[in-house]
Structures are given as C-alpha cells and as structure tokens.
C-alpha cells in the first residue's frame, strides 16, 4: 500500500466504469451547459406543492434552468405556468415570490395578462395597428404543468412525455402518504451552495454517509437493521429507499415519536426516500416530510429549496410537534441539513481546482444497507440524457 503518483491519481480507480464518476461532471462548463439543455430543459421539474396555491388566483414565482416562471391557480381552479416574461419588451412580469392576482400587469408599459396567459390589455393599442401586431398574439409563453400526489411539476419541453409516464412505476410507495390530500407546506427555505447541484443529490442517495451525521450514527446505524433496508431503482432515473428505521431516543435530547401523529400509512420511526430524477428528493420521517429541490446556478453553485410538510388542519400543538421533528434534522438550523451542505461544498472545493479527479460509487450490498445502487442509477440516467458517460464525460461529446 502506498500513495499514488500523479498518473495513477489521474487514471482513477481500477473498477468498473459504472462505479466511479469523473470530477469533470462537476466542473466542466460544457457539461453544465448541456445539463441545462438536455436535463433541465427536458425533464419534469418540481414547481411547488399544491398547498402553496390554495386559493383561486394564488401565484408562485420560481426558476428552472435559469428560466423565470410563474405558476398560478386560475379562476377555473387549474394551475398553469408561464415564463415570467412580458411579451412586449421582455421585462420580468411578476416580481414577488408569491401572492394573489387576477391579472398580471407589467410595471413597464402596463400590458396585462389574465391567469390563463392571454394578453387582455395593451394601453394605447392603436399605436401598434400599423405594424399588424395583434393583441391575441401577445399571450404569455405557456409551460406544461401537471400535478401528481399534490406536487406541481412543469416541463419546459412542449414535446415531453406526460408526467405519469415519466414517473412510471416509481413513487407508488408514497401514494398512501401523499395521495390523501391532507398535507400542506409549513416550511420553506432556500440556500445557495458553493457546490455543483449533483453533489447535493449525492447526499440524498448515499446512505453510506450516515456515518458523517452523529444523529444518524446514533438513531439509524445503531438501529442495526441494514438487511431490512431496500433500494429500488426505476426507469428514467427515479429511485426509492424503504425499510430504514430510526430510534430517535438514541440521540441525546430527542424523544420518541407518537404513532397517532404519523402521516397517513406511516409508522413514526419509518424513513422513506424517493428520488425524482433529476433534482428532487422526498423524505418522510413518520410524522413529517421534507421535499428538496436543487437547481444549478453554475458548475460550482447551486440553489437548494427545502420544504417541510405536515398535516393540514393540525392543532397548534401538533403543528409545533411536527415543526420540531422537522427542525431536528432539517432546516437551516437542523442537525443534518447543514452537514450535508458542508459535505457538498467540501467536495466541490477539491473538484473545482482539479485536485480531486474521481468519485467512487462502488458499494454493493445487494440492494441493502448502504449500497451505492441509487448513485449508479442516477449517473446511468444522467449519462443517457447527456450522451456522455459520467466516468468520462469530455471525450465523448453530446450527440
């Protein structure tokens, strides 16, 4: 055993190509640009939870692949999404993160649009008559919008397959939990990370990193049910983890969780995880749920959006209990989310200057324990969409 030469370090591990990832997937500008086009421009992306648009004319603004978007519940109750751009001079149409409006009026020249995206008013419209510009041709750019289990998804690609086809057989474990219509968002925070977006995803798909978190060492690893854990992979890059149990009393200062307060169909000590390819993860811990979405801002910068979800109609006491359970691990002052962010950033700090060259995803425990199967599944789909293998993304340019 010895340290390696530069050539050996560059060559990477002598293991199957599916079991390691080149550092260039995190740092290369052409990879980043192709990800925006081939992945974020083509796949279904989480916009929000339906409970964020409870009333007619409620709206939410957000971004996907750098594109500004606004989702709005119209007067007919349907949620639609548009590019958040005025058809006239291209100004950002809606500025607020959320609100309620029957019309969107651009601040610049006061062009107005209804919640179905039609242009409904152009001040002093006669001035455009000579050019032949017609108001009915000045609607907003509609973006495909569909919902599943209370989650609102959009797709920038008008030709994309329907959302249900995209999910396929995945996410069925969550149907009894999320299909009840009884859930609502109570927590939202954003965090800009000095890391590639995939470094965050890896923290969600890699159970081996339980060893980093003292909370998980004491509540999950110590529970010792590694063989009960089951990893499932699905078409289109989706994945699920089931069978993980937590003994919350294992961490000093934490108590147990009341079965009567669990989310529908869950035991209080269950941990279920679903990865919605490419960039959203749903985690439930019996009494509470977290959904996070990570968006690329640059090769080494990512925007993380985290939601906490509980039961609609909770008593004040139960809501506080759920918030407490959420904040124990998650949120900006949770015990785990800051650690995951730090892990992503410390990997980026090594890959960015080229010091780190490869990442190893070679654990194989027959789909149990702390298997890397979900990471390999993620990078297989990533490579398929990008037309580049993750172990060697530059030598084989995108088709």
Partner 1 sequence: MSAEPGSVERLIYESCLRLDLEDFAGYLDLCAPEFTYRITTYSAEIRKDMIWLDHDREGMQALLENYYDHVRRLGSLHRHVAVYAIDRQDDGLFRVTSSFQVTHTDLEGQSKMFAVGRYHDVVGESQKGPQLHRREARLETRELGSGSHLPI
Chain residues that interact with partner 1, rule: CB under 8 A: 52, 60, 96-99, 185-194, 212-214, 251-253, 307, 320, 323-324, 327, 331-335, 337-339, 341-343, 345
Q: Are 379 and 234 in contact (CB under 8 A)?
A: no
Nearer to partner 1, 240 or 339 (CB): 339
Tell me how far apart the terminal alpha carbons of the chain are, to the nearest angstrom.
41
CA–CA distance, 393 with 116 (Å, rounded to integer): 42
Supply the minimum distance, in Å, between the C-beta of residue 341 and partner 1.
4
Supply the minimum distance, in Å, between the C-beta of residue 84 and partner 1.
14
Q: Are 272 and 246 in contact (CB under 8 A)?
A: no
Report long-range pairs for 251-260 (Cβ below 8 Å, ≥24 apart): 251/214, 251/215, 251/218, 251/219, 254/219, 254/328, 257/286, 257/287, 257/325, 258/287, 258/321
Nearest to 35 by CA among 201, 146, 158: 201
Supply the minimum distance, in Å, between the C-beta of residue 376 and partner 1.
25
Helix residue ranges per DSSP H, 213-315 = 214-216
Nearer to partner 1, 125 or 323 (CB): 323
Q: Two tokens at 321?
A: 């209990």
Nearer to partner 1, 221 or 362 (CB): 221
Supply the minimum distance, in Å, between the C-beta of residue 393 and partner 1.
27
Nearer to partner 1, 13 or 250 (CB): 250
Supply the minimum distance, in Å, between the C-beta of residue 332 and partner 1.
4
Nearer to partner 1, 171 or 329 (CB): 329
Supply the minimum distance, in Å, between the C-beta of residue 298 and partner 1.
15
Q: Which residues, other chains included, contact 257 with Cβ-Cβ below 8 Å and sequence gap of 6+?
A: 248, 268, 269, 286, 287, 325
Specify which residues 117 forms β-bridges with. none
Q: Two tokens at 204?
A: 């969600």
Nearest to 215 by CA among 258, 245, 246: 246
Supply the minimum distance, in Å, between the C-beta of residue 93 and partner 1.
17
Q: Which residues, other chains included, contact 397 with Cβ-Cβ below 8 Å and sequence gap of 6+?
A: 30, 387, 388
CA–CA distance, 359 with 26 (Å, rounded to integer): 10
Nearer to partner 1, 48 or 241 (CB): 48
Supply the minimum distance, in Å, between the C-beta of residue 268 and partner 1.
19
Nearer to partner 1, 44 or 251 (CB): 251
Nearer to partner 1, 206 or 270 (CB): 206
Nearer to partner 1, 98 or 133 (CB): 98
Supply the minimum distance, in Å, between the C-beta of residue 347 and partner 1.
13
Q: Which residues, other chains included, contact 71 with Cβ-Cβ below 8 Å and sequence gap of 6+?
A: 47, 48, 53, 59, 60, 61, 62, 79, 80, 81, 145, 152, 154
Nearer to partner 1, 97 or 162 (CB): 97
Specify which residues 62 forms β-bridges with. 69
Nearest to 337 by CA among 112, 155, 137, 187: 187
Supply the minimum distance, in Å, between the C-beta of residue 142 and partner 1.
23
């Amino acid at each position: 055993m010895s340290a390696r030469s530069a050539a050996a370090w560059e060559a990477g591990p002598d293991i199957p190509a599916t079991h390691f990832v080149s550092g260039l997937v995190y740092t290369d500008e052409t990879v980043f640009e192709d990800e925006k086009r081939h992945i974020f421009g083509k796949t279904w992306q989480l916009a929000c939870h339906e409970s964020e648009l409870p009333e007619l004319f409620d709206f939410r603004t957000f971004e996907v692949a750098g594109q500004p978007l606004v989702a709005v519940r119209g007067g007919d109750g349907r949620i639609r999404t548009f590019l958040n751009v005025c058809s006239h001079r291209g100004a950002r149409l809606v500025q607020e993160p959320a609100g309620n409006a029957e019309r969107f009026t651009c601040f610049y020249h006061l062009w107005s649009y209804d919640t179905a995206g039609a242009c409904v008013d152009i001040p002093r419209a006669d001035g455009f008559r000579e050019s032949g510009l017609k108001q009915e041709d000045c609607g907003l750019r509609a973006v495909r919008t569909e919902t599943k289990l209370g989650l609102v998804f959009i797709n920038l690609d008008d030709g994309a397959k329907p959302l249900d086809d995209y999910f396929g057989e995945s996410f069925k474990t969550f149907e009894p939990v999320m299909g009840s219509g009884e859930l609502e968002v109570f927590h939202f925070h954003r965090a800009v990370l000095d890391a590639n977006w995939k470094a965050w995803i890896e923290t969600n798909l890699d159970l081996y990193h339980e060893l980093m978190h003292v909370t998980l060492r004491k509540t999950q690893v110590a529970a010792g049910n590694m063989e009960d854990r089951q990893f499932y992979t699905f078409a289109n890059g989706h994945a699920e983890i089931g069978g993980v149990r937590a003994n919350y009393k294992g961490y000093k200062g934490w108590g147990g969780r009341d079965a009567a307060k669990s989310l529908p169909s869950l035991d209080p000590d269950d941990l279920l995880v679903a990865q919605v390819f490419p960039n959203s993860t749903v985690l439930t811990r019996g009494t509470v749920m977290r959904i996070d979405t990570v968006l690329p801002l640059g090769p080494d910068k990512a925007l993380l959006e985290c939601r906490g979800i509980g039961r609609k109609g909770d008593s004040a006491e139960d809501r506080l209990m759920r918030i407490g359970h959420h904040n124990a691990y998650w949120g900006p002052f949770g015990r785990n989310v800051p650690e995951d962010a730090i892990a992503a950033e410390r990997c980026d700090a090594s890959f960015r200057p080229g010091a780190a060259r490869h990442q190893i995803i070679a654990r194989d425990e027959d789909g149990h324990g702390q298997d890397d199967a979900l990471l390999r599944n993620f990078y297989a789909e990533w490579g398929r969409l990008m037309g580049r293998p993750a172990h060697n993304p530059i030598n084989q340019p995108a088709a």
